[in-house]
Amino acid sequence: MARPIVAIVGRPNVGKSTIFNRIIGDRLAIVEDKPGVTRDRIYGIGEWMGTSFSVIDTGGIEIDGADEMLKSIRMQAELAIEEADAIVFMVDGKAGLTGSDSEVAQMLYRAKKPVILAVNKVDNLKRQDDIYEFYTLGFGDPIGISGSHGIGIGDLLEAVVTNLPEKEEEQYGEDTIRVALIGRPNVGKSSLVNAILGEERVIVSDQAGTTRDAIDTPFERDDQKFVLIDTAGMRKRGKVYETTEKYSVMRAMHAIERADVVLVVINGEEGIIEQDKHIAGYAHEAGKAAIFVVNKWDVVEKDDKTMQQFSQKIRDHFLFMTYAPIAFVSAKTKQRLHKLLPIVVEVSEQHAMRVQTHLLNDVVSDAVAMNPPPTDKGKRLKINYATQVSVKPPTILLFVNDPELMHFSYERYLENRIRAAFRFEGTPIRLFTRKKSDDE
């Protein structure tokens, strides 16, 4: 089920990214600190009083050129209006009301979305008076906050969750595999949907961004129910959206949240660019099963080494997703397309697989015996017990003598041994450590 989306909007230098980091807390630390993970995130997961939501930091979206400032502000607001379920409109209490604030406000009036007005840099009681002039923006009571001191964040989050829409009921049963296709505009997502279905169900054009909305297409193959979720392209036209690949990740967020398996579609003709890593990284962080699908393979000039070389490029660029299988296909000629759905079924099963506790402990014990944890300042990690606590993705809890002794390299070693024993192909594995108490 998709999380609602909250966008943080405002002119530059009002502290959007600081508030973004406050809201998501230490959740980004859950992501493995592995080489190849893109660090400049513009999205994360926030939670307040049991309500979880995706957060977009529009301050992380850049437009090339110093003279593009106003265009950047306008574009960020437009994206937020279009994508978000609720909008946090941030202004600067120290600087006071500016013309740029008023311009953003004018756009938000037309949004017909809930807008929460947050006045940042209200660092102490003396600055509380700074919020009053912002009443003129017309968004009700401004909330005074301080990103640097953490003041008022609870009030802000309470206002956010109060304004979020109620959860939609999931319309597909547990036996249906939900498959999201994500990727930059014009990598061939809609063409792939049509090719898999064998009919023209989704409008396809060579013009990037012709798919208008996320489209669900349920179908059945070999007694297995599927639903394909094709993420939308960009709706707007014009100069503001010249570099649309920077923003397609926002389109992918909803689809990824709803999916069991994510197809990360790469244009085989163009190769891999940085934005592919952004998009794939969100699927990884969301804990979804994933398959790299290299489309348009029919137009690639190749010899007997081309596929191996391209596979190695994917492994080099996506070091944090070595578990994801790679499929080379052509939506146009149907080349190797028949192999794709069987892989989807397999990784979906691996994503939902639960390992018996005694077997898991046997594998972990053997791994420790073969390669004992290194000592750290005279102390050595001791793993007392392992148990799988959830699926989708498989999540394993290790009870240890001291969680701080678990080095990320040893955690990776354990993950690799667990994968070797139980496969878990196509799915991330989450490993967590907890100190074993005396009564456990």
Instruction: Answer yes or no: is 17 a known binding residue.
Output: yes
Instruction: Answer yes or no: is 138 a known binding residue.
Output: no
Instruction: Answer yes or no: is 295 a known binding residue.
Output: yes
Using CA atoms, how far apart are residues 427 and 393, in angstroms rounded to an integer?
7
Q: What is each CA distance from 434 to 29, 179, 228, 410, in whole angstroms? A: 16, 33, 38, 15
Is the distance from CB of 5 to CB of 56 less than 8 angstroms?
yes
Instruction: Answer yes or no: is 11 a known binding residue.
Output: yes
Instruction: Answer yes or no: is 182 a known binding residue.
Output: no
Instruction: Answer yes or no: is 61 a known binding residue.
Output: yes
Instruction: Answer yes or no: is 150 a known binding residue.
Output: no
Instruction: Answer yes or no: is 123 a known binding residue.
Output: yes
Instruction: Answer yes or no: is 348 a known binding residue.
Output: no
List the beta strands (DSSP E) in 315-376.
326-328, 375-376
Instruction: Answer yes or no: is 188 a known binding residue.
Output: yes
Instruction: Answer yes or no: is 298 a known binding residue.
Output: yes
- β-pairing verdict for 289-295 and 224-230: unpaired
Instruction: Answer yes or no: is 10 a known binding residue.
Output: yes
Instruction: Answer yes or no: is 13 a known binding residue.
Output: yes
Instruction: Answer yes or no: is 14 a known binding residue.
Output: yes
Instruction: Answer yes or no: is 141 a known binding residue.
Output: no
Of 226, 225, 118, nearest to 163 by C-alpha is 118
SS3 247: coil
Using CA atoms, how far apart are residues 155 and 159, in angstroms rounded to an integer?
6
CA 8 from centroid of its chain's CA atoms: 16
Instruction: Answer yes or no: is 42 a known binding residue.
Output: no
Instruction: Answer yes or no: is 173 a known binding residue.
Output: no
Instruction: Answer yes or no: is 198 a known binding residue.
Output: no
Instruction: Answer yes or no: is 382 a known binding residue.
Output: no
AA identity, residue 45 = I
Of 136, 157, 163, nearest to 145 by C-alpha is 157
Helices assigned H by DSSP within 110-247: 153-162, 189-197
Instruction: Answer yes or no: is 110 a known binding residue.
Output: no
AA identity, residue 180 = A
Instruction: Answer yes or no: is 189 a known binding residue.
Output: yes
Place of tokens 């898991």: 360
Of 415, 364, 355, 406, nearest to 385 by C-alpha is 364
Is the distance from CB of 400 to CB of 364 less than 8 angstroms?
no
HSE, CB side, 13 Å, CA atoms: give it for residue 399: 14
Instruction: Answer yes or no: is 209 a known binding residue.
Output: no
Instruction: Answer yes or no: is 434 a known binding residue.
Output: no
Instruction: Answer yes or no: is 196 a known binding residue.
Output: no
How does DSSP classify residue 270? T
Instruction: Answer yes or no: is 15 a known binding residue.
Output: yes
Instruction: Answer yes or no: is 240 a known binding residue.
Output: no
Instruction: Answer yes or no: is 130 a known binding residue.
Output: no
Instruction: Answer yes or no: is 368 a known binding residue.
Output: no
Instruction: Answer yes or no: is 186 a known binding residue.
Output: yes
Instruction: Answer yes or no: is 184 a known binding residue.
Output: yes
Q: Please give the annotated binding residues, written as ranges.
A: 10-17, 57-61, 120-123, 183-190, 230-234, 295-298
Q: Please give the annotated binding residues for GTP, written as ranges.
A: 10-17, 57-61, 120-123, 183-190, 230-234, 295-298
